Amino acid sequence: MESTLTPEQAKAFYDRFGAKQDRQGFYENPARRDLIAQADFETAAAVFEFGCGTGDFAARLLAEHLPPRCAYTAVDISDTMVRLARARLAPWRDRARADRSSGSTTLEAADGAFDRFVSTYVLDLLSDEDIRGLLAEAHRILAPGGRLCLAGLTHGAGPIASLVSGLWQAFFALRPALLGGCRPIALCGYLAPDRWRIEYRNVRTAFGISSEVVVAARLDRKAGRRE
Ligand SMILES: C[S@@+](CC[C@H](N)C(=O)[O-])C[C@H]1O[C@@H](n2cnc3c(N)ncnc32)[C@H](O)[C@@H]1O
Judged against a pLDDT cut of 90, whether residue 89 lies above it is answered with yes
Judged against a pLDDT cut of 60, whether residue 133 lies above it is answered with yes
How far out from the chain centre does Cα 157 lie? 20
CATH number, domain containing residue 23? 3.40.50.150
Mean pLDDT value across residues 62-85: 98
Question: Would 110 be classed as within a structural domain?
Answer: yes
Q: What residue's CA is closest to ligand 1, atom 20?
A: 103
Question: Would 226 be classed as within a structural domain?
Answer: no
Judged against a pLDDT cut of 90, whether residue 179 lies above it is answered with no
Mean pLDDT value across residues 166-179: 82
Question: Would 20 be classed as within a structural domain?
Answer: yes
Looking at residue 2, its pLDDT comes to: 63
The answer to whether the CB of 39 falls within 8 A of the CB of 215 is yes
Q: Which atom of ligand 1 is nearest to the CA of 180?
A: 1
The answer to whether the CB of 101 falls within 8 A of the CB of 76 is yes
Residues with CB under 6 A from ligand 1: 7, 10, 14, 21, 28, 51-53, 56-57, 75-78, 81, 101, 103, 120-122, 125, 180, 182
What mean pLDDT is reported for the chain?
Answer: 93
Structurally, the chain folds into a number of domains equal to 1
Which of 162, 165, 44 has its CA nearest to residue 96? Answer: 44
Question: Would 156 be classed as within a structural domain?
Answer: yes
Task: For 44-69, write each residue's pLDDT tens digit.
Answer: 999 999 999 999 999 999 999 999 99
Q: What residue's CA is closest to ligand 1, atom 8?
A: 120
- What 131-137 contacts at long range (C-beta under 8 Å, 24+ apart), as own/partner pairs, is 131/185, 131/190, 132/190, 133/105, 133/106, 134/50, 134/105, 135/190, 135/191, 135/195, 135/196, 137/105, 137/106, 137/107
Query: Residue 11 Cα, ligand 1 centroid: separation in angstroms?
Result: 9
Q: Which residue has the higher pLDDT, 101 or 225?
A: 101
Which of 160, 126, 150 has its CA nearest to residue 202? Answer: 150
Mean pLDDT value across residues 157-164: 85
pLDDT exceeding 90 applies to what percent of the chain?
Answer: 82
Residues ≥6 apart with Cβ < 8 Å to 32: 57, 60, 120, 151
Judged against a pLDDT cut of 70, whether residue 1 lies above it is answered with no
Q: Which residue has the higher pLDDT, 173 or 73?
A: 73
Question: Would 1 be classed as within a structural domain?
Answer: no
pLDDT exceeding 70 applies to what percent of the chain?
Answer: 96
Question: Would 2 be classed as within a structural domain?
Answer: no
Looking at residue 169, its pLDDT comes to: 85
Looking at residue 189, its pLDDT comes to: 94
If you ran DSSP here, which 8-state letter would residue 1 be given? Answer: -
Residue 208's SS3 state is: coil
Global pTM? 0.94
Determine the structural domain holding residue 18 and report its residue range. Answer: 7-221
Looking at residue 224, its pLDDT comes to: 46
Of the listed ranges 9-18, 29-38, 102-111, 173-182, the least confidently predicted one is 173-182
Question: Would 94 be classed as within a structural domain?
Answer: yes
Separation of alpha carbons 13 and 202, rounded Å: 29
Separation of alpha carbons 194 and 55, rounded Å: 32
Q: What residue's CA is closest to ligand 1, atom 19?
A: 103
| Residue 148 CB neighbour total at 10 angstroms | 25
Judged against a pLDDT cut of 60, whether residue 23 lies above it is answered with yes
Residue 68's SS3 state is: coil
Question: Would 160 be classed as within a structural domain?
Answer: yes
Judged against a pLDDT cut of 70, whether residue 184 lies above it is answered with yes
